[in-house]
């Protein structure tokens, strides 16, 4: 994984800060790059989404680039919302992206909950130093006395209680003597600070909750701001990268560490000073037509608006994987969009382009007919036995000669796509129509001599053709007596009816009809709900597609050619597809997901072309 595309590419501002720190020896010997330590600190309360991928690529990429270390740290300080399913999914997704916390640049897996005792001891130290106190205001009272941006907050009546009293109460909070919400430990900072985060923020709350790691050992749980910077400190993180909404929290991040370091040093009864990481904020990744709000993603899954966290229409990393996206494409996209301090929404088309760039080079080509209609070659017996199968040579990937060729069966009866035939075709319709000739890719040239329709629906049910035996492999026929060579404008794909495998094909479209589905419109009616902007046509299931027989074997074997075991293809003229896990190749059940169309059709529809 790389964060810098080329040695000469301009480095983003965080890379520049790190370079300067390495040069000045801020974290170790000047010039020593390996001091760089980063982390990704997910809260296990949902699956990771594409925004998290940016943070993972950034953090891991910087550690790897400098030969430093990368931690995966589960921020499991909140016992209530966390689930093991999420932990496993998060690990799977990070590994898939290529950020290996156990590998050469990894420093292992950590749990914030393993630091509970250390955090508690430091809190006691702050009380002893007169920098924290036990407050008995309710949550509502704390909020009501916080003040406004222009009016200072009101000091808690418990603010100046004796240190011994706070120490005693805090110990009893921990021992479980008090009810949930009845007491908090607050930092004693500045009730008049223009920064709300500094108005005596809560460090601990009483919560009698079972924790997946620490069980019932704790009845007090640390707040995010208190815990996060100290976790960074314990792990020796050098650059603590977070998103812009934490900019206002940076003074508090620093205050907590400085408060612990106060009066520490040689000869101090508190001991040595602790490590002080540098918090740096960057803008979140946002994409058009993509929802990232975690609470809303939870709701989509819970209320079954989608088929699960990995429904290919979701914004989660698991969903992108199931849809056929490659980790390489997501990483190169994250590199390309860069790291800034400015909030912006990036066109989803850029992620799709990164995907097409990757799959165009790597995905083997196959033929699949999504809306099959039968085509019969009436003069097939002209070339020999009417029941014969001819095996045609097809190129696997024109972008990659090493991908070789394969044999595709050609027979008297084929399927072509209903969209490739028109009864009353306009001049510019370069596909098949009565009296017109077209090239069947890697097959023969055929001319339409007639067709049959369904009496009731009028739909075409059969197309009759003749073929030119001199066009084998799709080659041009020889010149006629006057030296003219016949030409065809169109080339279409096909499969042999006798050999084709039946497949289910799932076509996905954007899940949201609006560019910023997370944003509630200013003039939204009272009953507005975010699901109202869902695209009702985001999933089309084709039950009876016909695919070339090789795809039946591919569904079983071709995954081995991809690092993550997911087989991906380009269906000629249609788009990129992958094998869905609902596939059961040995039982003949094939399910393919459309990863992306060949071109950005959606931009065209929206008039953005």
Rg (CA), the chain: 32
The least CB distance from residue 268 to ligand ATP, in Å, is 33
Q: Is 242 in the site for ligand ATP (CB under 6 A)?
A: yes
Quick note: the x/- pattern for ligand ATP over 373-412, rule CB under 6 A, is: ----------------------------------------
Between CA 260 and CA 264 the distance in angstroms is: 8
The answer to whether 200 touches 191, Cβ cutoff 8 Å, is yes
Which residue number, 52 or 250, has a Cβ lying nearer to ligand ATP?
A: 52
Which residue number, 243 or 254, has a Cβ lying nearer to ligand ATP?
A: 243
Work out the end-to-end distance of the chain between its first and last CA atoms, rounded to an integer number of angstroms: 32
Q: Is 519 in the site for ligand ATP (CB under 6 A)?
A: no
In the numeric block, which tokens belong to residue 315? Answer: 């914004």
Which residue number, 41 or 229, has a Cβ lying nearer to ligand ATP?
A: 41
Per CB under 6 A, which region of 36-44, 421-429, 505-513, 544-552 contacts ligand ATP? 36-44
Per CB under 6 A, which region of 37-45, 149-157, 342-350, 424-432 contacts ligand ATP? 37-45
The least CB distance from residue 242 to ligand ATP, in Å, is 5
Which residue is it, tokens 């930092």? 187
Minimal CA–CA distance to 461: which of 496, 510, 512, 423? Answer: 423
**Whole-number Cα distances in Å, 514 to 120, 290, 352, 529:** 46, 9, 18, 13
Q: Is 285 in the site for ligand ATP (CB under 6 A)?
A: yes
**Whole-number Cα distances in Å, 5 to 97, 287, 320, 357:** 17, 21, 23, 15
| DSSP strand pairing (501-508 vs 591-597) | parallel
Which residue number, 242 or 574, has a Cβ lying nearer to ligand ATP?
A: 242
Between CA 99 and CA 101 the distance in angstroms is: 6
- Bridge partners of residue 508, in order along the sequence: 539
Between CA 576 and CA 318 the distance in angstroms is: 18
Binds ligand ATP by CB under 6 A, chosen from 32, 43, 353, 378? 43
Between CA 123 and CA 187 the distance in angstroms is: 9
Q: Is 211 in the site for ligand ATP (CB under 6 A)?
A: no
Which residue number, 155 or 283, has a Cβ lying nearer to ligand ATP?
A: 283
Which residue number, 281 or 328, has a Cβ lying nearer to ligand ATP?
A: 281
Name the residue number minimizing CB distance to ligand ATP.
51
Taking phi first (over 0 means left), then psi (-120 to 50 degrees means alpha), and beta for anything else, what does residue 216 get?
alpha
Question: How many residues of this chain interact with ligand ATP, rule: CB under 6 A?
Answer: 14
Binds ligand ATP by CB under 6 A, chosen from 294, 374, 556, 573? 294
Which residue number, 72 or 503, has a Cβ lying nearer to ligand ATP?
A: 72
Number of H helices, E strands in the chain: 14, 25
Binds ligand ATP by CB under 6 A, chosen from 11, 262, 284, 371? 284
The least CB distance from residue 291 to ligand ATP, in Å, is 11
Spatial CB neighbours of 407, under 8 Å, sequence gap ≥ 6: 391, 392, 393, 394
In the numeric block, which tokens belong to residue 153? Answer: 């907050």
Which residue number, 189 or 354, has a Cβ lying nearer to ligand ATP?
A: 354
The least CB distance from residue 45 to ligand ATP, in Å, is 6
Binds ligand ATP by CB under 6 A, chosen from 14, 15, 18, 41? 41
The least CB distance from residue 55 to ligand ATP, in Å, is 4
The least CB distance from residue 457 to ligand ATP, in Å, is 48
The angle subtended at Cα 422 by Cα 446 and Cα 371, nearest 5°, is: 85
Q: Is 52 in the site for ligand ATP (CB under 6 A)?
A: yes
Which residue number, 58 or 446, has a Cβ lying nearer to ligand ATP?
A: 58
Q: Is 55 in the site for ligand ATP (CB under 6 A)?
A: yes
Which residue number, 43 or 378, has a Cβ lying nearer to ligand ATP?
A: 43
Which residue number, 170 or 325, has a Cβ lying nearer to ligand ATP?
A: 325
- Bridge partners of residue 326, in order along the sequence: none
Minimal CA–CA distance to 127: which of 179, 37, 188, 184? Answer: 188
Binding residues vs ligand ATP (CB under 6 A)? 41-43, 45, 51-52, 54-55, 242-243, 284-285, 292, 294
């Amino acid at each position: 994984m790389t964060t810098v595309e080329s040695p000469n590419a301009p480095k983003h501002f965080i890379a520049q800060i790190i370079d300067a720190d390495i040069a000045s020896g801020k974290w170790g010997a000047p010039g020593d790059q390996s001091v760089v330590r980063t982390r990704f600190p997910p809260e296990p309360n949902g699956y990771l989404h594409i925004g998290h991928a940016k943070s993972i690529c950034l953090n891991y990429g910087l550690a790897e680039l400098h030969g430093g270390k990368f931690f995966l740290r589960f921020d499991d300080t909140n016992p209530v919302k966390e689930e093991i399913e999420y932990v496993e999914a998060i690990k799977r997704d990070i590994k898939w992206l290529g950020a290996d916390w156990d590998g050469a640049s990894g420093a292992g897996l950590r749990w914030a909950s393993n630091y509970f005792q250390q955090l508690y001891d430091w809190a006691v130290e702050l009380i002893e130093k007169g920098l924290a106190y036990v407050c008995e205001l309710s949550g509502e009272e704390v909020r009501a006395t916080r003040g406004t941006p222009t009016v200072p907050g009101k000091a808690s009546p418990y603010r100046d209680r004796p240190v011994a009293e706070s120490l005693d109460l805090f110990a009893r909070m921990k021992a479980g003597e008090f009810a949930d919400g009845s007491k908090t430990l607050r930092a004693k900072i500045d009730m008049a600070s223009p920064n709300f985060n500094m108005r005596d923020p809560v460090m601990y709350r009483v919560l009698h909750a079972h924790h997946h790691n620490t069980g019932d050992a704790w009845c007090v749980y640390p707040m995010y701001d208190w815990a996060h910077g100290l976790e960074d400190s314990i792990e020796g993180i050098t650059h603590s990268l977070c998103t812009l909404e934490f900019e206002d929290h940076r003074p508090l991040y620093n205050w907590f560490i400085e408060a612990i370091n106060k009066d520490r040093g040689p000869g101090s009864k508190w001991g040595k000073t602790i490590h002080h990481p540098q918090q740096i904020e960057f803008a979140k990744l946002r994409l058009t037509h993509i929802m990232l709000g975690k609470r809303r993603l939870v709701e989509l899954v819970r209320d079954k608006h989608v088929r699960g966290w990995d429904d290919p229409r979701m914004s989660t990393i698991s969903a992108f994987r199931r849809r056929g996206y490659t980790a390489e494409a997501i990483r190169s996209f994250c590199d390309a969009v860069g790291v800034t301090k400015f909030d912006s929404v990036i066109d989803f088309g850029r992620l799709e382009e990164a995907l097409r760039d990757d799959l165009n080079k790597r995905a083997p080509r196959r033929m699949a007919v999504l809306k099959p209609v039968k085509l019969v070659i009436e003069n097939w017996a002209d070339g020999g036995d009417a029941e014969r199968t001819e095996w045609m040579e097809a190129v696997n990937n024109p972008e990659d000669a090493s991908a070789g060729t394969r044999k595709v069966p050609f027979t008297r009866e084929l399927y072509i796509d209903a969209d490739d035939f028109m009864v009353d075709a306009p001049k510019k319709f370069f596909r098949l129509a009565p009296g017109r000739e077209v090239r069947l890719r890697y097959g023969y040239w055929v001319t339409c001599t007639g067709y049959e329709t369904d009496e009731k629906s009028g739909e075409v049910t059969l197309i009759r053709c003749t073929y030119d035996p001199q066009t084998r492999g799709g080659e041009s026929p020889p010149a006629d007596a006057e030296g003219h060579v016949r030409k065809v404008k169109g080339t279409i794909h096909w499969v042999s009816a006798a050999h084709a495998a039946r497949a289910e094909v799932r076509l996905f479209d954007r899940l949201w009809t609006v560019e910023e589905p997370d944003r509630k419109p200013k003039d939204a009616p009272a009953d507005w709900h975010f699901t109202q902007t869902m695209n009702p046509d985001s999933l089309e299931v084709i039950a009876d597609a016909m695919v070339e027989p090789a795809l039946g074997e591919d569904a079983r074997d071709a995954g081995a050619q991809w690092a993550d075991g997911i087989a991906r293809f380009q269906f000629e003229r249609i788009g990129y597809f992958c094998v869905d896990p609902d596939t059961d190749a040995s039982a003949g059940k094939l399910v393919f997901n459309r990863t992306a169309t060949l071109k950005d059709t959606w931009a065209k529809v929206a008039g953005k072309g």
